[in-house]
Amino acid sequence: MANKKYWVIIFLTIAINVMMVQWTVESYLGREYEQVVLFSGIAIVSACIAFIALVYWKRVEYEAEQHE
């Protein structure tokens, strides 16, 4: 069950990341530069959360394999 939790977190953060990249490009092309920084920051935080979830998922998966 723990594996599903990590995969949900990873997929949600990647989906948020895709939206933020799209909004960043739209803001940049629309010359709304203050929103570019905001959306880029959210995308970076989202990518960091996805990476941390991946590391924890691998740790849980590795520990489960050792106990079998």
Angle at 22 between CA 58 and CA 54, to 5 degrees: 5
Query: Which residues form the domain of 45?
Result: 2-67
| Number of domain units in the chain | 1
Angle formed by the axes of helices 2-29 and 33-67, nearest 10°? 160
Angle at 28 between CA 25 and CA 31, to 5 degrees: 150
Instruction: Kindly give the confidence (pLDDT) of every residue in the chain, 68 residues in length, as a single tens digit, with 9 standing for 90 and above.
Output: 668 899 999 999 999 999 999 999 999 999 999 999 999 999 999 999 999 999 999 998 888 777 76
Q: What is the pLDDT of residue 40?
A: 95
The tokens 């990873």 sit on which residue?
10
Q: What is the pLDDT of residue 67?
A: 73
The tokens 């203050």 sit on which residue?
34
